[in-house]
Structure 1
Amino acid sequence: MSSQKRKTLAPQREVGRQRVAELLEAAAEVIQERGFEATTMAEIALRADARIGSLYRFFPSKDAVADALMDHYATVLAAAYDAVRDQAAGATPEQLADILIDLLVKLHPQARAVTALLDSRTDWTQIRLRFRAQALAGVRAALMANATGLAEAEADDIAAVVLNNMKTMVGMMRKDAPTTQGAPDQLRLMNRLYLGAKLTPARP
């Protein structure tokens, strides 16, 4: 069976799962730095301090590594938004605003590799849309957990605004968006005031 057709190996032992996690972390770092097309399997193995045979044992191709990274990030994102939803129920709207901003900042290092992958593959439009929908649904669930009287349609609108604010915060961190030293704090304040105004009337 060729390496292109062989399926990714799912390790059964903890040591194997740890090795896969290390390989994916190394792959994310290299792809983030060099882009998907320029990244080689040899570079990933070197970054992970692993033999190239070990990498190919788990991932038969670079595309298989990319697919595994996408699946891993989707799982991480789902768990993160579940945790935020649980926190949201006992938080004030202003606290929730900070929790959401901090979430995207926390996820940013992993998201950079995923963004590099998505930018390199025009055939991954559906995956890009899936991640966007997953993020919107996660924010929306947190909003409705915090303000149980919030209408679903309004929750969708607020989630879109908050998600864009979260992305702007990351853009400021990366210097991709216009910023000054105090601008991130101003954005946090704006997010707190916005959620306070929108969610407080819908809280029990």
Structure 2
Amino acid sequence: MPSQNSSQSGRSPQRQRGRERVAALLSAASACFVERGYDATTMTEIAARAGASIGSLYQFFPTKESVAEALMLDHAEALYARMERLLEHVPGWDTNELAGRLIRTFADYRKQHPSFVALQEATGSQPSLLGRTIRQRMRDYLCQILAIHAPKLAAGDLRPAAMVVQQLMKAATALQNEQPATLRQSAQTQLQRALALYLQELASE
């Protein structure tokens, strides 16, 4: 269920029907943010997209910022769950497998959660501020992964290395829309190879 732990949230749904209504509202908001962007989207459009009254939307979300915050928190939990699963399996993976998993994890996540990108890019807004917090949490996970994969790496080098890995993961998402597909696939393979070489270098230090 989408997170309702928002500082700006209205009434939290107590029954299944209410939870389904909130899920429908957030799904509609997600589509609007992707199509029109955060700034251009209005509460009226979100309600109309969900087939709900504006009063029903305000009942659960008093502001557009509270809608976006609930979406971002929901997106964040989904991302953290993926990172937790990665963390569990790192000890059993070699460098190439780890590189491939890291590349696919973030690329697949952003593809499945397009409104995360739209909200994160809303410069100066509450969603973009939450996006910064999520990025920092991602680096925390990557530091843990690198500490397992490269146990000899100095503690002071973990954060910078995590930042590099994070940027390479983001680069994979930038390739998603490249055409033709054969060129995109070749570039993704080379990017994965570059990450594997970097991870191997870290492990050998």
TM tier relative to shorter chain: 0.7 to 0.9
Larger mean Cα displacement after TM superposition, 164-173 or 82-91: 82-91
The structural deviation recorded for 1:126 is: 4.3
TM-score (norm 2): 0.80
Q: Distance in 1 between matches of 2:24 and 2:89?
A: 30
- The residue aligned with 1:189 is 193
Aligned pair count reads 195
Q: Distance in 2 between matches of 1:48 and 1:109?
A: 22
Alignment of 1:111-190 (within 5 A): 112-124=114-126, 126-175=129-178, 180-181=183-184, 182-190=186-194
Q: Distance in 2 between matches of 1:89 and 1:6?
A: 41
Q: Distance in 2 between matches of 1:193 and 1:168?
A: 16
Seq. identity, %: 35
3-state DSSP of counterpart to 1:150: coil
The structural deviation recorded for 1:98 is: 1.1
The structural deviation recorded for 1:110 is: 5.8
Q: Which 5+ residue runs of structure 2 have no aligned equivalent? A: 1-6
Q: Distance in 2 between matches of 1:6 and 1:97?
A: 39
3-state DSSP of counterpart to 2:85: helix
- The residue aligned with 1:61 is 63
CA RMSD, Structure 1 to Structure 2 (Å): 2.8
Q: Which 5+ residue runs of structure 1 have no aligned equivalent? A: none
The structural deviation recorded for 1:119 is: 3.2
Q: Which deviations, in whole Å up to 9, do the C-alpha atoms of 1:146-181 show, x marking residues without a partner?
A: 333332222222211111111111111134xxx933
Q: Which deviations, in whole Å up to 9, do the C-alpha atoms of 1:60-106 show, x marking residues without a partner?
A: 22121012122222222222222211121221122111111111112
Alignment of 1:17-36 (within 5 A): 17-36=19-38
AA partner of residue 65 (structure 1): V
Residues 110, 26 of structure 1: CA spacing in aligned structure 2 closer, same or farther, 3 A cutoff? farther
Residues 189, 138 of structure 1: CA spacing in aligned structure 2 closer, same or farther, 3 A cutoff? same
The structural deviation recorded for 1:109 is: 3.4
Q: Is the 8 A contact 1:28 1:110 kept in 2?
A: no
Larger mean Cα displacement after TM superposition, 17-26 or 180-189: 17-26
3-state DSSP of counterpart to 1:141: helix
Residues 15, 140 of structure 1: CA spacing in aligned structure 2 closer, same or farther, 3 A cutoff? farther
Residues 36, 149 of structure 1: CA spacing in aligned structure 2 closer, same or farther, 3 A cutoff? same
